[in-house]
């Protein structure tokens, strides 16, 4: 997905997610040297169906302001013209206007719940709050070796930069069917409210309410087949960001483990391995999704947890963080893992990086070797094997 931002200095952009072609991250023994960075180009993948369409040109604001606020309208521009100006565009995913309006260009197809022919997994939808529209889709595998056996429960948060995506769209429906079958879990996919119509923290609050509902085992499937003492949170991209937020909120249920798939974190300043342009783009998106509620721009601890003391109190016993080495977020993903491992947190952290893969590649090609390897690793992590 290519992204276009109006006004400022021109840079080259490609598609797959947020930064330049990333350098190789240091392994655990820290003996491998970092590779030379390539010329900067931004890649994006908020919508996993969208593949790289080539090189685009983007105009990114270049000032000392790193707050991510929209650029100032040029002198002489009418209010009406300014409101209709496209501020940021991701072809095939969304188009954001200076007025704050958004056009969602991603596939609006919604798949009904039911029994998946490929995996035999059954699914159903449950509305948790008719007022807000908060709902979840539950996935129950049919390979129960023992009818009395209780399954681990995985609460999953979809990606999409807080702007697009749904628990009911074809990509996530297919992935959750595969996850429930491969890992032998009862999965609960959260359909939270999207920005900008519902600015953050709406997505966080919806996810928190869904997590607490799952832990209460009010639903028949969860009560009969789920093991509430083996509760996991998981998500990809912005969904992994949400999973992290669930781990640092006070008063939540006990969580055994967390699976963060290519998490979307950033900050006002770029770290080693990512270009300044990536931080500026994230700052703009973050400001747009928050609509004024962000503290410190992209250094808000919800978007930049690297220096947060909250890492010491992550509410889980185990964590798996993954990335693809062709993902522009790879450096930031590794930095997050290193920060967790170096904090005072008493849990166990695991890391998985895959060569030659971009951001959330597994959503679009579940049958490829690396996607199968990743699924096997997630299943083993949940089983604690």
Let me know: does 266 contact 302? Beta carbons within 8 Å.
no
What pLDDT score does 106 carry? Answer: 86
Catalytic residues: 237
Residue 33 belongs to some domain of the structure: no
Provide the domain limits for residue 283.
104-384
Q: Is residue 242 part of a domain?
A: yes
- Tokens 């640092």 label which residue? 248
Whole-number mean pLDDT of the chain?
A: 81
Lowest mean pLDDT among 72-76, 87-91, 139-143, 172-176: 72-76
User: pLDDT, tens digit, for every residue of 5-38?
Assistant: 443 322 222 333 333 344 344 344 333 322 222 2
The β-bridge partners of 321 are: 260, 351
Contact 94, 197 (CB under 8 A): no
| Domains: count for the chain | 1
Choice among 37-46, 148-157, 337-346, 350-359 with the minimum mean pLDDT: 37-46
pLDDT for 277 equals 76
pLDDT tens-digit profile of 319-355? 999 999 999 899 999 999 999 999 999 999 999 999 9
Q: Is residue 42 part of a domain?
A: no
The three state secondary structure string of the chain is: CCCEECCCEEEEECCCCCCCCCCCCCCCCCCCCCCCCCCCCECCCCCCCCCCCCCEEEEECCCCCCCCCCCCCCCCCCHHHHHHCEEEEECCCEEEECCCCEEECCCCCCCCCCECCCCCCEEEEEEEECCCCEEEEEEECCCCCCCCCCEEEEEEECCCCCCCCCCCCHHHHHHHHHHHHHHCCEEEEEECCCCCCCCCCHHHHHHHHHHHHHHHCCCHHHHHHEEEEEEEEEEECHHHHHHHHHHHCCCCCCEEEEEEECCCCCCCCCCCCCCHHHHHHHHHHHHHHHCCCCCCHHHCCCCCCCCCHHHHHCCEEEEEEEEECCCCCHHHHHHHHHHHHHCCCCCEEEEEEECCCCCCHHHHCCCCHHHHHHHHHHHHHHHCC
Q: What is the CATH number of the domain that holds 313?
A: 3.40.50.1820
Q: Is the pLDDT assigned to residue 113 strictly greater than 50?
A: yes
With 0-12 / 13-18 / 19 or more C-beta atoms within 10 angstroms meaning exposed / middle / buried, residue 148 is exposed
In a domain, residue 86? The reply is no
Which pLDDT band, with edges at 50, 70 and 90, does 78 fall under?
A: low
State the average pLDDT over residues 289-318: 90
Domain contains 139? yes
Dist. CA 257–CA 316, nearest whole Å:
5
The interaxial angle of helices 238-248 and 202-216, nearest 10 deg, is 60
Supply the pLDDT for residue 79. 65
Distance CA 268, CA 282 (A): 8
Q: Is residue 19 part of a domain?
A: no
Cβ-proximal residues to 46 (8 Å cutoff; 6+ apart), any chain = 1, 17, 90, 93, 94, 106, 159, 160, 161, 163, 164, 165, 237, 238
pLDDT over 70 percentage in the chain: 77
Q: Please report the pLDDT score of residue 282 as a whole number.
A: 85
Q: What is the pLDDT of residues 230-277, one digit of tens each?
A: 999 999 999 999 999 999 999 999 999 999 999 999 999 999 998 777
- Residue 319 domain-assigned? yes
Q: Which residue has the higher pLDDT, 28 or 225?
A: 225
| % of residues, the chain, pLDDT over 90 | 65
pLDDT reported for residue 352: 98
Q: In the prediction, which pLDDT does 61 show? A: 28
Q: Is residue 198 part of a domain?
A: yes
């Amino acid at each position: 997905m290519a992204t276009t931002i109006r006004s400022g200095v021109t840079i080259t952009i490609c598609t797959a997610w947020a930064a330049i072609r990333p350098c190789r991250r240091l392994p655990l023994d820290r003996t491998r040297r970092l590779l030379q960075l390539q010329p900067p180009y931004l890649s994006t993948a908020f919508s996993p169906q969208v593949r790289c369409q080539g090189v685009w040109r983007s105009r990114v604001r270049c000032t000392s302001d790193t707050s991510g606020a929209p650029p100032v309208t040029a002198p002489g521009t009418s209010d009406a013209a300014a409101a209709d100006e496209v501020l940021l565009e991701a072809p095939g995913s969304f188009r954001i206007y200076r007025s704050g309006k958004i056009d969602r260009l991603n596939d609006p197809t919604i798949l009904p719940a039911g029994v998946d022919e490929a995996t035999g997994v059954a699914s159903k939808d449950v509305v948790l709050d008719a007022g807000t529209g908060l709902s979840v889709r539950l996935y129950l595998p049919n390979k129960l070796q023992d009818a009395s056996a209780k399954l681990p429960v995985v609460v999953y948060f979809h990606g999409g930069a807080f702007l697009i995506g749904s628990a009911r769209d074809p990509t996530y429906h297919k992935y959750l069917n595969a996850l429930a079958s491969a890992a032998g879990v009862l999965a609960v996919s959260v359909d939270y409210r999207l920005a900008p119509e519902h600015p953050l923290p709406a997505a966080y609050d919806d996810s928190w309410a869904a997590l607490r509902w799952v832990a209460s085992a009010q639903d028949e499937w969860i009560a009969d087949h789920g093991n509430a003492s083996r509760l996991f949170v998981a998500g990809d991209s912005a969904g992994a960001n949400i999973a992290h937020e669930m781990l640092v909120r006070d008063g939540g249920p006990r969580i055994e483990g967390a699976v963060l798939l290519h998490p979307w974190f950033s900050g006002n300043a770029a770290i080693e391995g990512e270009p300044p342009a990536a931080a500026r783009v994230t700052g703009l998106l973050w400001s747009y999704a928050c609509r004024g509620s962000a503290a410190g721009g992209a250094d808000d601890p919800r978007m930049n947890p690297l220096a947060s003391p909250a890492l010491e109190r992550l509410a889980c016993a185990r964590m798996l963080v993954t990335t693809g080495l062709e993902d522009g977020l790879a450096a930031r993903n590794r930095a997050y893992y290193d920060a967790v491992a170096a904090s005072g947190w008493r849990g166990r952290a695991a890391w998985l990086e895959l060569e030659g893969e971009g951001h959330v590649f597994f959503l679009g090609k579940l049958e490829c070797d690396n996607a199968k390897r990743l699924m096997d690793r997630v299943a083993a992590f949940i089983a604690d094997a």
